[in-house]
Amino acid sequence: MSSVPTPASPTPGQSEALSDFALDSAKRTFGTAISDMKSRLRSGDLGSLPAILAIVVLVAIFGLSSDTFLTALNFANFLEQAAAVIVIAMAVTFVLLLGEIDLAAGYTAGVTAAVLALRLQADWPLPLAILLAALAAMVLGLWTGFLVAKLGIPSFVVTLANFLVFQGILLILVREGGSIRIEDTIVKGIVGSSISPGLSWVIAALGILAFVAMQYKQSQRDGSPLSMVALKSGLAAVLILVVVSVLNKNRAFENATAEQKGMPYVIPLVLIIVVVLTFVLNRTRYGRHLMAVGGNQEAARRAGINVARIRLSAFMFCGLLAGIGGAFLASRVNSVDPNTGGNDTLLLAVGAAVIGGTSLFGGQGRMVNAILGGLVLALIPNGLTLVGKREPFGIEIDFGSSGVKFICAGLALMLAASVDALSRKRTS
Amino acid sequence: MADAPILEVLGVNKSFGPVHVLHDVDFRVYPGTVTSLIGDNGAGKTTLIKCITGIYPSDTGEFFFDGKPVHIGGPKDVANLGIEVVYQDLALCENLDIVQNLFLGRERLKYGLLDEASMEQAARETLASLSVRTVKSVRQKVSSLSGGQRQTVAIAKAVLWNSKVVLLDEPTAALGVAQTKQVLDLVRRLADQGLGVVLISHNMNDVIQVSDRVCAMYLGRVAADVEISKETRREFLVELITTGRSGDVGLVNTEAV
């Protein structure tokens, strides 16, 4: 309750005088649910709204200025491009929630991918290769976590050093200049292959059912009206059905021999990961403690939470998830080279988390933010490439050039960070 | 006050290196009573509290809880006895809501998952039992609460665990007039419910208003441990704090300290 009455609550029922848990017992209607949402936005809690707006605006701009942007082929391609960054962004979200950062997450992904590829090349069975790769990812995470949580070195410094160390490990693993090819059809298929259209529909239906069930349970708990549940479920259903119907169209080139349609495997994989992680964060004691440490470390310590253990485990999970992202990266190009997880991977991942609404200062954020932010950051280069050379105002600009792409992605990140900083100013 | 003390510490000494901070301090907390711990900055109030709550190990000293001698090895032991501390800096997570803060570190589980419904219910009951009437929803984030409301939540967090003793470190230091009154009313209600309440405060008006007893510290010693009433003069307490002596009460030879 701020001392200044907000114009967001003009009705007497919403005034400052409300007390006695009035909002808890009040039956909430569609109207109050909307005005709650408004006042939350006004108080600076923007959540993922900026990211959603950005997606809508970008799709509109690119859709209008390029003929190929809104095609089934590009849509699937775009989602496949986004997947790895999204998963690494979720990895980084784990430590961002603690107010820490992992600058080495990109190369953690690279090293993990290299371990996986090397073991497959050595004819290990896939499950064993995956197990070893996962172990490697967790060990890298634990190493970082140990230095941060037990020795108390700032994560920025530790992971800056690890950025070099892990890059070195990756170089040694793939032998400078070389690359490791991946022949395993399952690993290649994560990003390259698609589920059959029929099964895609089944998955879509299951997804919609799960979403409705979750919304309904949520409304039972917080008393939000059924009309709100219906609205959200309806929107989600339409979105899912549109996405799946586009993906189920044949998107192969005209003279291709085989049809290419259905949902790429990576989409349900990413969704499963986000659901599991969200569940861990929201419904388990571990998740609650993680958020508490991110919000106020001292309060968490006094509440008997083992802060060091939370830190350590967060970095370990960050490593594991980054490793999964690494497998996606490798799957997309069917090989691992010294640049896997390098270049701008890490920057895009951190950017994705922040653009999605996860705070750099800890304690604020959700896993789903990584998806929204990842989509924004994948849209920018994808769309710009397709827009290509144009002559606005008589000046020729190649929008597809790396220079323009970097500048645009950088500006988007800067914008997101300013929104984060400004909204923090407003809430505190 | 005829009751036996619920918490009694005798002969506590504490040094930090060469600095002897606490000299043979005796301190008692009675059930259903507000005991104010007063003293100038550096008098040793906070150190005493930290010794009682196990954050600092005391060099010497005996601890009795409910008449029985107890060993205090760390904060966990103290919490297990039913002693809770509300620190000056509140120790709330602003990014979490009231329920989440109240149950932080002691979440209720159902099938291994957080049992939100039961925690929410208990939170509401606790706040209601403390006659806290200013919170709109127990699902409000702490960042949206006023200073007084935060203090209330912090205190509620301490009493949610059927605690027997609550130590409050300057609960009104950062509050306005109306909010101070709210919190002091709450402090009084805690004592009326039978808890032993310790109030650390620099505000003598607050102390006189809610306390049944005053323990005044002066340079690491207890200058006086006396019953007071609303009629107690402010000057009496101020003198105890500044010189360790007022009239017949206080340290005999303050120069020797």
Q: Is residue A288 classed exposed, middle or buried when 0-12, 13-18 and 19+ CB atoms within 10 A define those classes? A: buried
* Total domains, chain A: 2
Could A295 and B133 be called an inter-chain contact, meaning their C-beta atoms sit closer than 8 Å? no
Whether A16 maps to a domain, the answer reads no
Whether A26 maps to a domain, the answer reads no
Whether A373 maps to a domain, the answer reads yes
Q: Which residue has the tokens 């500044």?
A: B242
Please answer whether residues B64 and B12 qualify as being in contact, where contact means their C-beta atoms are separated by less than 8 angstroms. Answer: no
Minimal CA separation from B40 to chain A, in Å:
26
Looking at the structure, tell me whether residues A285 and A144 fall in a common domain. yes
- Interface residue of A214, A285, A291, A424 to substitute, partner B, most B CBs within 10 Å: A285
Looking at the structure, tell me whether residues A161 and A202 fall in a common domain. no
What CA–CA distance (Å, rounded) separates A95 from A367?
Answer: 12
pLDDT of residue A113: 94
Of A221, A296, A428, the CB nearest to B93: A296
Of B96, B135, B146, the CB nearest to A19: B135
Does residue A214 sit at the B interface (CB-CB below 8 Å)? Answer: no
- pLDDT tens-digit series, residues A323-359: 999 999 999 888 888 888 888 889 889 989 988 888 8
Does residue B105 sit at the A interface (CB-CB below 8 Å)? Answer: yes
Per DSSP, the three-state class of A217 is helix
Could B107 and A288 be called an inter-chain contact, meaning their C-beta atoms sit closer than 8 Å? yes
The Cα-based distances of A369 to A92, A350, B210 in angstroms read: 11, 11, 49
* B2 CB-near residues (< 8 Å, 6+ apart): none
The domain that holds A88 is classified in CATH as 1.10.3470
Please answer whether residues A311 and A146 qualify as being in contact, where contact means their C-beta atoms are separated by less than 8 angstroms. Answer: no
Does residue A25 sit at the B interface (CB-CB below 8 Å)? Answer: no
Please answer whether residues A252 and A238 qualify as being in contact, where contact means their C-beta atoms are separated by less than 8 angstroms. Answer: no
Looking at the structure, tell me whether residues A187 and A252 fall in a common domain. no
- Interface residue of B77, B89, B92, B96 to substitute, partner A, most A CBs within 10 Å: B96
> Which of these three, A202, A230, A263, is where a domain ends?
A263
Minimal CA separation from A304 to chain B, in Å:
6
Contacts of A288 in chain B (CB under 8 A): 96, 100, 104, 107, 114
In what order do the strands lie in the sheet containing B7-16? B19-29, B7-16, B60-65, B68-70
What phi and psi values does residue B58 have, to the nearest 5 degrees? -85, 150
Contacts of A295 in chain B (CB under 8 A): 93-96
Could B146 and A21 be called an inter-chain contact, meaning their C-beta atoms sit closer than 8 Å? no
Looking at the structure, tell me whether residues A171 and A320 fall in a common domain. yes
Could A298 and B135 be called an inter-chain contact, meaning their C-beta atoms sit closer than 8 Å? no
Looking at the structure, tell me whether residues A183 and A322 fall in a common domain. yes
* A39 CB-near residues (< 8 Å, 6+ apart): A6, A8, A9
Contacts of A2 in chain B (CB under 8 A): 144, 146
In chain B, where the domains are located: 1-82+163-257, 91-161
**ipTM for the assembly:** 0.79
pLDDT of residue A15: 36
Looking at the structure, tell me whether residues A153 and A205 fall in a common domain. no
Of A3, A291, A302, the CB nearest to B95: A291
Tell me which chain A residue has its CA closest to the CA of residue B134: A19
Could B105 and A304 be called an inter-chain contact, meaning their C-beta atoms sit closer than 8 Å? yes
Residue B20: CB atoms within 10 Å: 14
Q: What is the mean pLDDT of chain A?
A: 85
Of A19, A43, A364, the CB nearest to B134: A19
| Multiple choice CATH, B1-82+163-257, 2.60.120.10, 3.40.50.300, 3.50.30.10, 3.10.620.30 | 3.40.50.300
Print the domain residue range for A211.
194-263
Whether A120 maps to a domain, the answer reads yes
pLDDT of residue A341: 86
pLDDT of residue A133: 95
Contacts of B133 in chain A (CB under 8 A): 19-20
Could B134 and A1 be called an inter-chain contact, meaning their C-beta atoms sit closer than 8 Å? yes
Whether A317 maps to a domain, the answer reads yes
Contacts of A285 in chain B (CB under 8 A): 107, 109, 114
Contacts of B101 in chain A (CB under 8 A): 299
- Interface size A-B, in CB pairs within 8 Å, comes to 101
Of B91, B127, B137, the CB nearest to A296: B91
Portion 347-366 of A in contact with B at CB < 8 A: 363-364
Portion 254-283 of A in contact with B at CB < 8 A: 283
Minimal CA separation from A283 to chain B, in Å:
5
Looking at the structure, tell me whether residues A113 and A141 fall in a common domain. yes
Residues of chain A with pLDDT under 70: 1-30, 40-47, 176, 424-428
Whether A39 maps to a domain, the answer reads no
Looking at the structure, tell me whether residues A113 and A255 fall in a common domain. no
Minimal CA separation from A327 to chain B, in Å:
31
Of A20, A221, A296, the CB nearest to B94: A296
pLDDT tens, per residue, chain B with 257 residues? 457 889 999 988 999 888 888 988 999 999 999 999 988 888 888 889 888 888 888 888 889 998 889 988 877 788 888 888 888 776 789 889 999 999 988 888 888 888 888 898 888 888 887 777 777 788 888 888 888 888 888 888 888 877 889 998 888 887 778 888 888 888 898 898 888 999 998 888 888 888 999 898 888 888 888 888 777 788 888 888 888 777 777 776 655 44
Looking at the structure, tell me whether residues A243 and A300 fall in a common domain. no
Could A284 and B92 be called an inter-chain contact, meaning their C-beta atoms sit closer than 8 Å? no
Tell me which chain B residue has its CA closest to the CA of residue A3: B146
Radius of gyration of chain A (CA): 23
Looking at the structure, tell me whether residues A253 and A402 fall in a common domain. no
DSSP A104-122: THHHHHHHHHHHHHHHHHT
> Which of these three, A243, A263, A283, is where a domain ends?
A263
Cα–Cα nearest to A103, from A350, A381, A386, A268:
A350
pLDDT of residue B197: 92
Looking at the structure, tell me whether residues A174 and A163 fall in a common domain. yes
Does residue B80 sit at the A interface (CB-CB below 8 Å)? Answer: no
> Which of these three, A263, A294, A319, is where a domain ends?
A263
Whether A418 maps to a domain, the answer reads yes
pLDDT of residue A7: 41
Looking at the structure, tell me whether residues A93 and A128 fall in a common domain. yes
Contacts of B136 in chain A (CB under 8 A): 1, 18-19, 21-23
Per DSSP, the three-state class of B204 is helix
